[in-house]
């Protein structure tokens, strides 16, 4: 079964048909989903989703674009949520210099604090990094993120940068971008990375794969990503599904052991 490691089903884009869509996951081969929080409201909504649906797990944290809402109180709330049985990661956390909504120093301080929280709570991290390659790597190294474990979500950097993270023992999240015409760099990364370090993800409702590019995304589109990875790696789609599922179980479900 496909293990979807990054979706935002709390997003209002799913308000009209959330229940119907989530109830159809299993019959479409989606066995597990991590709902990733980004803003304050999504912390509570992720908790609700994982309590309601057996196959939904949660990641808790504040996205760099939302870090203006962070405080010691919020950090302690995230710590409490980390201790729920179905919370499997701290995320998504990181640096975003593309939207650049918060100043770099503030982003960096809370990125480091959330990494430290993950270490204390013995959870892996889900990293968001956009147009911030050098600073993200610097923080990840200085916080010894390899010891914490985690995934670079929607990996968008070069093969050389991928090598840095793979050498730290981290995983790469691969989604719909792989099907885009201009995804040459990402195809190189997928060809280069060992199969046991790739995770499937959508970032739903964003980043729908071709031929649905620009439309609302959902985990049901993941077979299109599986197909691309299978072609690049010379594997069957079944193998790609199975190996990425094992990878996700190893990273997220064997926690705290
Ligand atoms: Ni996301």
CA distance 49 to 36: 11
pLDDT category at 256 given cuts 50, 70, 90 is low
Tell me, in angstroms, the distance from the centre of ligand 1 to residue 230's CA. 24
Strands (E), the chain: 2-7, 30-36, 56-60, 87-96, 125-130, 150-152, 171-174, 198-200
Q: What is the pLDDT of residues 83-136, one digit of tens each?
A: 999 999 999 999 999 998 889 999 999 999 999 999 999 999 999 999 999 999
Q: What is the pLDDT of residues 106-121, one digit of tens each?
A: 999 999 999 999 999 9
CA distance 198 to 219: 16
Tell me, in angstroms, the distance from the centre of ligand 1 to residue 143's CA. 22
Q: What is the pLDDT of residues 219-242, one digit of tens each?
A: 999 999 999 999 999 999 999 999
Tell me, in angstroms, the distance from the centre of ligand 1 to residue 188's CA. 22
Tell me, in angstroms, the distance from the centre of ligand 1 to residue 174's CA. 12
Angle, helix 104-121 to helix 72-82, in steps of 10 degrees: 30
Average pLDDT of 12-33? 98
pTM of the model: 0.97
Mean pLDDT of the chain: 97
pLDDT of 13 over the 60 cut = yes
pLDDT of 257 over the 70 cut = no
Q: Please tell me the CATH code under which domain 2-253 is placed.
A: 3.20.20.140
Tell me, in angstroms, the distance from the centre of ligand 1 to residue 202's CA. 8
Backbone phi and psi for residue 71, each to the nearest 5 degrees, phi listed first: -155, 175
């Amino acid at each position: 079964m496909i293990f979807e490691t990054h979706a935002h089903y709390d997003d209002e884009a799913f308000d009209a048909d959330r229940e119907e869509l989530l109830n159809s996951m299993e019959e479409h081969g989606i066995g597990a989903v991590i709902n990733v929080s980004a803003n304050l409201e999504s912390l509570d909504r992720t908790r609700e989703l994982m309590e309601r649906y057996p196959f939904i797990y949660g990641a808790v944290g504040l996205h760099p674009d939302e870090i203006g809402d962070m405080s010691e109180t919020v950090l302690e709330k995230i710590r409490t949520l980390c201790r729920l049985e179905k919370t499997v990661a701290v995320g998504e956390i990181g640096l975003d210099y593309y939207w650049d909504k918060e100043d770099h120093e503030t982003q960096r301080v809370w990125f480091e604090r959330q990494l430290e929280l993950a270490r204390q709570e013995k959870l892996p991290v889900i990293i968001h990094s956009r147009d911030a390659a050098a600073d993200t790597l610097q923080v990840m190294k200085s916080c010894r993120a390899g010891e914490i474990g985690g995934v670079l979500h929607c990996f968008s950097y070069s093969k050389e940068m991928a090598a840095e993270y793979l050498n730290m023992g981290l995983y790469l999240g691969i989604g719909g971008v792989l099907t885009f015409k201009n995804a040459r760099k990402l195809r190189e990364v997928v060809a280069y990375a060992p199969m046991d370090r790739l995770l499937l993800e959508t970032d739903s409702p964003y980043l729908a794969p071709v031929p649905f590019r620009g439309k609302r995304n959902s985990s049901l589109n993941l077979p299109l990503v599986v197909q691309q990875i299978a072609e690049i790696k010379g594997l069957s789609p079944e193998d790609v599904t199975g190996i990425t599922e094992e990878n996700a179980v190893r990273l997220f479900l064997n926690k705290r052991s």
